[in-house]
Amino acid sequence: MQELIDKVLNTPDPAAELETRDRGPYILYPGRRSPAFGKKEPAKEVQFEPAVQAKLDRIARESGRVAAELVQDAVAGYVDELAGTRDMLDSRYDDIKSGKVKLIDGEEAFARLRERIDARPNDPA
């Protein structure tokens, strides 16, 4: 019985191992080839403030994922969202420039909004 207790106590915790081996800097797209030039791009390193690093470590430990994967997913999601926002803004700018959309004054916009709010029935929630 004592052998079993010693074995359990001396077996490293997998979460602790994950925490110590995956402490940034995180490498994003190591050795990826550039689609434009076909050349190998240098790896990108990402480092975080201690508070952010602690949150990342906690989430990695709780989810059982490697922190570098979480960073990769977060950056990919942010870039996708940024690209979508950029496309929407470009489209709206093109609509304004072509005259398809008419701009209104800020005061007029707030006046319209106030009218719509005032016209709503009172909700006794």
pLDDT above 70 as % of the chain: 63
**Residue 102 forms part of a structural domain:** yes
**In the structure, what pLDDT confidence band is assigned to residue 80 with cuts at 50, 70 and 90?**
very high
pLDDT tens digits along 6-27 = 555 555 544 444 444 455 666 5
**Residue 30 forms part of a structural domain:** yes
Is the peptide bond preceding residue 25 cis, with omega within 30 degrees of 0? yes
The stretch 70-87 carries a mean pLDDT of 92
**Residue 98 forms part of a structural domain:** yes
**Residue 2 forms part of a structural domain:** no
**Residue 66 forms part of a structural domain:** yes
Q: Is 104 exposed, middle or buried (0-12, 13-18, 19+ CB in 10 A)?
A: exposed
**Residue 3 forms part of a structural domain:** no
Tally of domains in the chain: 1
pLDDT at 32 over 90: no
pLDDT above 90 as % of the chain: 42
> Could you tell me the residue range of the domain that residue 112 belongs to?
10-119
The stretch 87-93 carries a mean pLDDT of 95
Q: How far apart are CA 87 and CA 125, in angstroms?
A: 39
**Residue 104 forms part of a structural domain:** yes
